[in-house]
């Protein structure tokens, strides 16, 4: 990558390295470990030992993450591993704040899950009131996830991811329930074997980090979903 393209790419990094450094410093990580993690995850082509394995920018395939963690651990010990995992998680949050990326991911989820045709309408999860049309605070009962196969009655059991997918499809995607973002973030962190210390730290401070990342995106002229 030539210097001109590198500079352009640097401007488009979201969240910015300043956000990664700010959050890492808040956790108490050494700045050299944070910056090393930023460079290796965002610019792996600059490191022959990473390029050798075909690791790409923001590569969160599990094997790629393990290689990144290993190299950072050899350089910075535990701080290196934590800095890498924190970088990945902040990137996940940014992805879910991006309206277009979220729309595409929700469409993928919809295609992966099942929807029975004989269930329709919306229900208030607290008062258990049914409505044929969407009303504020209601959730759809038209779907179930691939896990339960529709065995559980939607009106009296926890609402699955597919319910949220259908709710998003029923209106313009401008907002996202915080519990949905937390649910998907938790799932992603488990799949990618994120360190428990990072998981707890991010979950405790999620609202703060969402605000910082949204503001960072705004500076770069990027729109973000409103998380409530």
The pLDDT score that the predictor gives to residue 172 is: 56
Task: Yes or no: say if 80 and 35 are a contact pair by the CB < 8 Å rule.
Answer: no
- CA 91, 96, 100 angle in degrees (round to 5)? 115
What's the pLDDT at 117? 46
- Match 């002229």 to its residue by tokens: 221
| Same domain, residue pair 43 and 117 | no
The larger pLDDT score, comparing residue 204 to residue 111, is at 204
Q: Indicate whether 181 belongs to any domain.
A: no
**Is the domain of 201 the same as that of 93?**
yes
> Is 150 found in the same domain as 37?
no
Dig out the tokens for 220 from the structure.
């770069």
DSSP line for 63-119: HHHHHHHHHHHHHHTHHHHHHHHHHHHHHHHHHHH-HHHHHHHHHHHHHHSB--TT-
* Domain assignment of residue 89, yes or no: yes
- Domain check: are 80 and 123 in the same one? no
Domain contains 140? yes
Q: Mean pLDDT across the stretch 88-104? A: 91
Confidence band of 110 (pLDDT split at 50, 70, 90): low
Range of the domain at 206: 3-98+194-227
Quote the mean pLDDT of the chain.
80
Number of domains in the chain: 2
Percent of the chain with pLDDT over 70: 70
Q: Is residue 182 part of a domain?
A: no
Phi-psi sector, 150: left (phi>0), alpha (psi -120 to 50), beta: left
Residue pointed to by tokens 């959050």: 23
Residue among 187, 24, 220, 196 nearest 92 (CA) = 187
| Average pLDDT score over residue span 102-113 | 67
User: Is 189 within a domain?
Assistant: no
What predicted TM-score, i.e. pTM, was given to this entire model? 0.72
Q: Per-residue pLDDT for 165 more than 70?
A: no
The length of the chain in residues reads: 228
């Amino acid at each position: 990558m030539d210097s001109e393209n590198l500079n352009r790419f640097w401007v488009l990094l979201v969240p910015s390295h300043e956000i990664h450094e700010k959050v890492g410093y808040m956790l108490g990580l050494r700045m050299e470990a944070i910056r090393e993690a930023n460079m290796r995850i965002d610019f792996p082509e600059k490191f022959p030992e990473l390029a050798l394995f075909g690791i790409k920018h923001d590569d969160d395939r599990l094997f790629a993450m393990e290689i990144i963690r290993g190299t950072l651990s050899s350089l910075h010990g535990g701080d290196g591993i934590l800095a890498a995992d924190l970088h990945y998680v902040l990137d996940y949050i940014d992805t879910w704040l991006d309206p277009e990326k979220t729309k595409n991911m929700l469409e993928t989820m919809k295609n992966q899950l099942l929807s029975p045709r004989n269930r329709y309408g919306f229900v208030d999860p607290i008062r258990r009131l049914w409505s044929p049309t969407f009303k504020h605070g209601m959730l759809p009962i038209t779907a179930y996830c691939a896990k339960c196969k529709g065995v559980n009655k939607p009106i009296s059991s926890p609402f699955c991811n597919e319910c949220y997918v259908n709710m998003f499809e029923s209106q313009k995607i401008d907002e996202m329930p915080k519990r949905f973002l937390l649910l998907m973030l938790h799932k992603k962190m488990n799949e990618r074997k994120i360190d428990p210390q990072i998981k707890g730290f991010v979950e405790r401070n999620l609202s703060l980090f969402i605000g910082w990342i949204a503001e960072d995106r705004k500076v770069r002229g990027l729109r973000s979903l409103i998380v409530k």
